[in-house]
Structure 1
Amino acid sequence: MAVSLDVSVSAAFTAEGADRFEVAADLSVADGETLVVLGPSGSGKSLLLETVAGFHDHEGQVAVSGRDLTDASPEERGLGFVFQDYALFPHMTVRENVAFGGKYHETRDPDDLLAEFGVSDLAERYPPTLSGGESQRVALARALAVRPDAFLLDEPLSALDVPTRQTLREVLADVLADETAMYVTHNRTTARAIADRVAVIRDGEIVQVGTPEAVFERPDSPFAARFTGANCLELADGALAVPGGRLDFGDGGNGTHLAVRPEHVAIDSTDADFSASVERVVREDGRYRLALDVSGQRLDAYAPEPPEDGEVAVALPRDRVTVLSA
């Protein structure tokens, strides 16, 4: 059965002793699509997901395949929620946790799901005895057990160590391949790995939506550029000040910023646009990240080897550069 998720909501939340925070979104998730909501801590990602799940009062509408869920309780919405902190019942065994939804819904066989996630040997264990990776696999199995119409995932990998996160990221990509899902995270790598589309959120508002390639390669605001890991340099009259001159990007003087990803900055190119001094060199997974000074602005780039001296030739490929306007 084809399942789509349509969200057009606004909600407000005030924690004890905190200021009122509002979130608004108008999003759609197609059948079998994973929409990743990407943003910094405090941007409203979790509040948005919890609102879709029915945990908060809200204005607007939440619908699954045209079925209005706005007034439905969380358990009536048919959505599988995977929490950041796993939310497993500590007094129940792993098998009992996975089977718990059977009290309210038709469920899949818990032992089949535990086998699918490679944790059959944990069936009689209790959650306090599990590692983070094991707990997350059980939490995912529990969400799958109730055969939800769509998945809502709240940063389920954020508390894991890097190797475990990488492994479970691959598991998630397989699990969500044919499912309808909203996934919130601040992790750019996770977003690029599992998203069919990405929605960037800032201060409770969606500021850009598109394919991972569009959002990461062609951000449409300085915020989106910086948060997705691109360099974002200020322009003056449509030109970038560089050592020894200016680079004109031909936008008629309307551009305020230039965005280019570090991996697209060419180092020691024969067609160099300018030379820049190297401020810092950091090794990252078999390559080196260079922090360059470009007339007082920082430009990050990658190189296979550390530079031999304190200056490198730099080229900015025009087909990889995005000029942003105010």
Structure 2
Amino acid sequence: MSLDVDVSAAFTAEGADRFEVSADLSVADGETLVVLGPSGSGKSLLLETVAGFHDHEGRVALADRDLTDAPPEERGLGFVFQDYALFPHMTVRQNVAFGERYHETRDPDDLLAEFGVADLADRYPPTLSGGEAQRVALARALAVRPDAFLLDEPLSALDVPTRQTLREVLADVLADETAMYVTHNRTTARAIADRVAVIRDGEIVQTGTPEAVFERPESSFVARFTGANCLELDAGTLAVPGGGGGLRFGDADGATHLAVRPEHVELDPASPDFTAPVERVLREDGRCRLALDVAGQRLDAYAAAPPESGAVGVALPRDRVALLSE
């Protein structure tokens, strides 16, 4: 079923400033939309509003059914919380079966077996690891046969190996399901999203396929947040080491920034655009991230091994560069 969201909501935590969020989004039948943004950008508030936890203006609809005034338990949405929200006084089996008081549910033991945690059925949540608790939380969300899923950063508290494993599990679970997933983790966003919506200060600032958002950011904020280099231009020109009039990229009039992802920066090519000093070498999972000094600005690039000298030739592929006006 498709999910349509056109809402605005406000929330004030005790002792905190009032925060507002607004969004006009649609999630197609069987699509996973990832709402990607930094901490405090309004991701969770948006998801909780869709779930019915907050009063709001606007409309939430699932297919042709208006959910705007429906309580959370009648919306047909499966919610997976960031902190799992398992009931500590109930066994794992009882947690998974909790929704049966509102809906017809799937057999909890079958679901636990699907997630590889059938042996935990009689345990209590405080005795579970983070990965085990998250599998139970996912099983509970599936148990009520939801029409769509809402997931609030469900992998953020896990160690890296467990997160990688459960990311694959989630990709399988959400295949052909309608889902809205919020996260600050761009690796997760690229791995599971059919589309990405970037949120900043309570507003959606760019929406598109993962390729479009990550490869063709529309602002310096999106470029930086999604992991691209974002270099300032002067009258459309990039100042480079050695001067020479700088580097210009076609019709750059009006452009204030240049964005290029580290993986697209070419090192020591046959015809470099310039030579840049290496400021720092960071080892990352079998490769090196080089921090280069481009006339006082940092440019990151990847290499298989540390460079043999303190400077490298650099080329910026024109078809991989995005020129930005904000």
Shared fold (TM-score greater than 0.5)? yes
Residue 7 of structure 1 corresponds to 5
Aligned residue number for residue 73 of structure 1: 71
- Counterpart of 1:70 in 2: which secondary structure? coil
Partners of 1:157 and 1:165 within 8 A in 2: yes
C-alpha RMSD over aligned residues? 0.6
- Does the CA-based 8 Å contact 1:287-1:304 persist in structure 2? yes
Distance 2:139 2:157 in 1: 18
Structure 2 residue aligned with 1:322: 322
Structure 1 residues 35-114: aligned runs within 5 Å = 35-114=33-112
- How far does the alpha carbon of each residue in 1:51-110 deviate from its partner, in whole angstroms, 9 at most, with x for none? 000000000000000211101111111100000000001111111110110111010111
Secondary structure at 1:201's aligned position in 2? strand
Matched, 1:162 2:157: no
Of 221-230 and 232-241, more deviation after overlay is shown by 232-241
SS, match of residue 100 in structure 2: helix
SS at match of 2:151: strand
Report the secondary structure of 1:283's partner residue: strand
| Equivalent-residue separation in structure 2 for 1:230 and 1:281 (angstroms) | 17
Amino acid at match of 1:52: V
- Alpha-carbon separation, structure 2, partners of 1:144 and 1:253: 52
Count of residue correspondences: 324
CA contact (8 A) 2:258 2:322 kept: yes
Matched, 1:237 2:232: no
Secondary structure at the counterpart of residue 255 of structure 1: coil
Counterpart Cα distance in 2 of 1:254 and 1:100: 57
> Separation in 1 of the partners of 2:67 and 2:148?
13
Q: Does the CA contact (< 8 Å) of 2:237 and 2:252 recur in 1?
A: no
Q: State the AA in 2 paired with 1:267.
A: L
Determine the C-alpha separation between the residues in 2 that align with 1:197 and 1:165.
21
Please list every run of 5 or more consecutive structure 1 residues that lacks an aligned counterpart in the other structure: none
Matches of 1:30 and 1:271, distance apart in 2: 46
Match for residue 150 of structure 1 among 148, 151, 158: 148
1:181 corresponds, among 179, 183, 190, to 179
Cα–Cα, structure 1 residues 268 and 140, in superposed 2: closer, same or farther, change >3 Å? Answer: same
Q: Please state how far the C-alpha of 1:251 moved relative to its aligned partner.
A: 2.1
> 1: CA distance between counterparts of 2:219 and 2:201?
14
Q: Partners of 2:195 and 2:251 in 1: how far apart? A: 28
Aligned residues of 1:155 and 1:185 also touching (Cα < 8 A): yes
Q: Deviations over 1:258-281 (max 9, x none)?
A: 000000000111120000000000
Tell me the residue number matched to 1:136.
134
CA contact (8 A) 1:7 1:28 kept: yes
1:277–1:292 Cα contact (<8 Å) kept: yes
Cα contact 1:286–1:304 (8 A) shared by 2? yes
Deviation at 1:252, TM superposition (A): 4.4
For 1:284, the aligned partner's letter is: E
* Mapped partners of 1:97, 1:202: distance in 2: 35
- Counterpart in 1 of 2:211? 213
What is aligned with 1:28? 26
> Structure 2: any 5+ residue segments left out of the alignment?
none
Distance 1:322 1:309 in 2: 29
Give the letter for the 1:277 counterpart: P
CA deviation after TM superposition for structure 1 residue 243, in Å: 1.2
> Which residue number in structure 1 is paired with residue 291 of structure 2?
291
Give the AA of the match of 2:316: L
Runs of 4+ in structure 1 deviating by more than 6 angstroms, as ranges, are none
Partners in 1 of 2:198 and 2:66 — Cα distance? Answer: 25
SS at match of 1:292: strand
Read off the aligned partner of 1:197 and give its amino acid letter: R
The answer (yes or no) to whether the contact 1:238–1:250 under 8 Å persists in 2 is no
The DSSP-based 3-state class of the residue aligned with 1:233 is: strand
Q: Which amino acid aligns with 1:81?
A: F
* Identity, % of aligned positions: 86
* Corresponding residue number in structure 2 for 1:192: 190
Give the aligned residue type for 1:155. Answer: E
Name the amino acid aligned to 1:128.
Answer: P
The answer to whether the 8 Å contact 2:252/2:323 transfers is no
Moved more, 125-134 or 251-260: 251-260
* Partner SS, residue 256 of structure 2: strand
1:240-262 Cα shifts (integer Å, max 9, x gaps): 11012311112242111000000
Q: 1:19 and 1:252 mapped to 2: Cα distance? A: 40
In the alignment, residue 298 of structure 1 is paired with which amino acid? R
2:26 alignment partner, SS class:
strand
Distance 2:277 2:156 in 1: 36
Which residue does 1:266 correspond to in 2? 266
CA distance in 2, matches of 1:220, 1:252: 15
Distance in 1 separating the partners of 2:137 and 2:115: 10
